[in-house]
Amino acid sequence: MIIVFEGPRCSGKSAISHSLVEHLKADEFPAKLWKSERGKDPFSDMITTIYSDFEDQTKLWVVDRFHLSEYVNSKASKRGTSHYVAELKQQIWHIDRLMRGRNALIIYPVVSLATRKGRLKRKNKKDPIDGALMEALWAQAILESRCERIAVYNEHSTDLYQAGIILFDLAKARWDRRPR
């Protein structure tokens, strides 16, 4: 089983995914955190991960960024030719189909642009392009994905706590329904 956290910088992906893994492990679930590392060929790396790590059905995989992050960030930072964008889209949706075939659930933390900009500033980070345009790219990617997906509100620390409880219950329920 795979739960993927996707979304723009400082939306709460890492905080929620790490917290979820801690809670699952405390409840003796075989949860494992997988964090995306950017290699020379991220798409080949992802496909290898899908066919190797994610084939292990004895683990509940919690993934901090995967194919949609690569798609949006590549599209935002390179702004390449139409040929590049078409090739990128083809690769990313191939990965999306593979993930859907493994019943991946995508979690998209929702946070206002103002809050996200505040978090970016506190962490001395920035988006590769204007924040509003980045939000639009994310909305498009999430809507186009064919994986099952849900959004969690993450404006305040109490929202983070509530999201963790809901996702913990959801992860346990999905684990019980997994094919064996």
> Tell me: the pLDDT tens digits for 63-121?
998 888 888 877 777 655 566 677 778 888 898 889 888 888 888 888 888 888 899 99
Task: Tell me the one-letter amino acid at 48.
Answer: T
Give residue 179's pLDDT band: very low, low, confident or very high (50, 70, 90).
low
Which H helix or E strand runs over 35?
A: strand 31-35
Q: Which CATH superfamily is domain 2-176 in?
A: P-loop containing nucleotide triphosphate hydrolases (3.40.50.300)
The whole-angstrom separation of Cα 6 and Cα 142 is 9
Task: Tell me the one-letter amino acid at 45.
Answer: D
Which H helix or E strand runs over 150?
A: strand 148-153
The whole-angstrom separation of Cα 15 and Cα 24 is 14
Question: In this predicted structure, what is the pLDDT of residue 55?
Answer: 86
Question: In this predicted structure, what is the pLDDT of residue 122?
Answer: 93
DSSP secondary structure, 37-53, as one string: ---SSHHHHHHHHHHTG
Query: What predicted TM-score, i.e. pTM, was given to this entire model?
Result: 0.84
Among 149, 172, 168, 148, smallest CA distance to 160 is for: 168
Q: How far is CA 87 from the centre of its chain?
A: 21
pLDDT digit string, tens, across residues 12-58 = 888 888 888 988 888 888 889 988 776 667 788 888 888 888 888 88
Parallel, antiparallel or unpaired: strands 2-5 and 105-110: parallel
Put residue 65 in one of left, alpha, beta given phi > 0 → left and psi -120 to 50 → alpha.
left
The whole-angstrom separation of Cα 133 and Cα 76 is 9
Q: Is 84 helix (H, G, I), strand (E, B) or coil?
A: helix
Structure tokens at 75: 């599209």
